[in-house]
Structure 1
Amino acid sequence: MGFQFGSFDSICQRAALVICPLVGTDQGIEPVCYGRNIDVGGSVVFQPSTVFIHVVAIVMTAIMIYSIQVKYTAIGRKEMVMFFWLYAIIQFLAIFLDGGIIPFANASYPWFTAIYTGLVTAAYGCILINSFVGFQFVEDGTPLSLWSMRISCLGLFGVSFFVAIATFKQFAGFSYTSPTALWIVYLIWPIVCVAVYIPSQFILVYQTLNDRWPYGDLLFGTGFYCLGMVLLFIFSDTICNTIEHYIDGIFFSEFCVLLSVMMIYKYWDSITKEDLEFSVGSKVTAWEVKDPSLVGASQEALNNHYGGNYLPPSASFNTSDRKGSGGYPPNGGY
């Protein structure tokens, strides 16, 4: 079956997406080929290779979040870290959905899938908003900037969650037999966000930086993302049949998306420099004069100015010096 606007039929026949058991004419589209399952302690785990990628993604995201958090004064730090938190939560939830820990037939599966759909929509919205942070239309890190992003992401989550659950449960005019609204939210919205983010960052680098190396991070990230989508939506069943069901396109797609997310971090890190003003200002700078002639000249100038032998306030002295001279500083005074 060929590609059709608003229909998941051809897509779900190639790739086992988490929404596929909940859409279609008979509410459930089975892929032509999917990854092998394994038995772990009497429980069947679906897509074990994909679950492994989700775990790796969580670990790598935790490292990136920590690296962002320690750059206290970097531009857009709080806004960017929100995207990585959303990505980590999505990967954690995907373990239960892709791995079959929450079975398709379970009554809670549609609700968790709707939450997953809402989080994906919010994550793409977050990266879309982050594309404008660097232009400083609103000062980053301020309540206005942070709450604008939080409210926007929450709104996107709410709309997407409603569309998904209404489609799965068939109410408010939505239907799983004709999931056009869900199709737009699930497939078109991510493309729009990526299509805005990439050109905007090229413009940002061109206008504000002399360094052109961040272009490489953007190109690699875009390449990984596009490759992952191609492998998922076009070659997933081909890969699955070729490798005899051991892995399918979802494994490679998730891996490529992880690489693209890592390149987003690499790009942000390359264009932001931490302001070390506070750390430098909190340290005492020790000045040391190496040339003895300069030491003598400086001391002579101070003696002439104060009319005696000058000692700096930090210089040490003992009580015998003070008694012999009748006051501080010895042999002179201010």
Structure 2
Amino acid sequence: MGISDFASICAKAPLPLCSVVKSTSHYILSNSTTVHNFDPEHLNVGILPRCYSRPIVLANTVIFGIGNAFINIGALGVLLIIIFNIRQKYTAIGRTEYLYFFQLTLLLTIFTLIVDCGVSPPGSSSYPYFVAIQIGFAGACCWSLLVTGFLGFNLWEDGTFKSMFFVRTASFLGFAANFLASILTFKSWIQDHHISSMDTTGMFVVVYIVNAVILFIYTLCQLLVSLFVVRNLWVTGSILLGVFFFVMGQIMSYALSNVICEGVNHYLDGLFFGSLCNLFTLMMVYKIWDMTTDDDLEFSVSVNKEGLVVYSNEF
């Protein structure tokens, strides 16, 4: 498989973008064979996976990926708790930057629910836009995380206008790059519901390669901070655990989705476990930040019954 053809990826993983790209290789369900010289010129559907979770009908509404939907709905609750906890750490280093990052992940999860569950169904005029927005927010999360990774080196003061300018600019550039790479790939579908181009090289490079490099740099920065700045092996272990969850999520989504789907009789697919692992990864990102925050700067702030703010320094 070349980077200009999503056939191999989409045959194994039921990704939302697969509905608006096409390939010369198609899997024939009736006889379980793959045609490599298929002419998709007049085919106005994307690449179908070999196996995907079965939809359900609720109140005359078809809901796709119900298992994955439950994970993402649960993720919304977890992210809201994380955001609430970050807001309580008034003096924590990187508080504003990480608060902004988790707000982006909250938006990403919402748009993931929209495209995965069929709120904007495949084939509709709005579908490619929502898919591109979802991919854009994924890129924004990666690029903003890159900037927060350098906070531990004290290259600039956290929480300042300068710091937030860097984070917001990086997230905007990440969103723009990923959104444009996706929407330009989907443009033929948007114009006349006809997929005329099979060249997805630009989208693959930006969405997969560039974002992967950015996440690698962030991980490397966190390892350096844990080993040489805070010198806490528990933080190092948390980083490695987060990397483990992230890698397992990618393996579950892209390599083992068909095996999982067939093994559970189409009730779940790899995206269910991939989303679960991604949620664990985000929880570890929060835990790493929480562990690397200076304890002597922490104090709790609460509001008593009279509405007065009470400061309690526990150190």
TM-score normalized by structure 1? 0.79
Q: Which residue number in structure 2 is paired with residue 102 of structure 1?
A: 120
**What amino acid sits opposite 1:45 in the alignment?**
I
Matches within 5 A, 1:1-334: 3-25=1-23, 26=40, 28-170=46-188, 176-273=197-294, 275-276=297-298
Superimposed CA distance per residue, residues 232-263 of structure 1 (whole angstroms, 9 cap, x where no aligned partner): 11111111111110100010000001001101
Q: Is the 8 A contact 1:45 1:99 kept in 2?
A: yes
Aligned residues: 279
Q: Is the 8 A contact 1:13 1:30 kept in 2?
A: yes
Q: Is the 8 A contact 1:34 1:247 kept in 2?
A: yes
Q: Which structure's residues are more often strand, by fraction? A: 2
CA shift in 2, pair 1:108/1:34, >3 Å: same
Q: C-alpha separation between the residues in 2 aligned to 1:101 and 1:220?
A: 34
Displacement of 1:5 in angstroms is 2.3
Superimposed CA distance per residue, residues 279-332 of structure 1 (whole angstroms, 9 cap, x where no aligned partner): 8xx989xxxxxxxxxxxxxxxxxxxxxxxxxxxxxxxxxxxxxxxxxxxxxxxx
**What amino acid sits opposite 1:15 in the alignment?**
A
Q: C-alpha separation between the residues in 1 aligned to 2:3 and 2:177?
A: 21
**What amino acid sits opposite 1:18 in the alignment?**
P
**What amino acid sits opposite 1:69 in the alignment?**
R
Q: Is the 8 A contact 2:147 2:166 kept in 1?
A: no
Q: C-alpha separation between the residues in 1 aligned to 2:88 and 2:82?
A: 10
**What amino acid sits opposite 2:7 in the alignment?**
D
Q: C-alpha separation between the residues in 2 aligned to 1:231 and 1:17?
A: 13
Q: Is the 8 A contact 2:108 2:138 kept in 1?
A: yes
Q: C-alpha separation between the residues in 1 aligned to 2:299 and 2:261?
A: 54
CA shift in 2, pair 1:57/1:283, >3 Å: closer
Q: Is the 8 A contact 2:177 2:206 kept in 1?
A: no
The alignment yields a C-alpha RMSD, in angstroms, of: 2.2
Gaps of 5+ in 1: 285-334
Q: Is the 8 A contact 1:169 1:175 kept in 2?
A: no
**What amino acid sits opposite 2:119 in the alignment?**
I
Q: Using the TM superposition, name which of 203-212 and 32-41 deviates more.
A: 203-212
Q: C-alpha separation between the residues in 1 aligned to 2:183 and 2:226?
A: 40
Displacement of 1:193 in angstroms is 1.8
Secondary structure of the residue aligned to 1:39 is strand
Q: Which has the higher contact order (CA 8 A, sep 6+)?
A: 2
**What amino acid sits opposite 1:272 in the alignment?**
T
Larger Rg computed on CA atoms: 1
Q: C-alpha separation between the residues in 2 aligned to 1:159 and 1:214?
A: 32
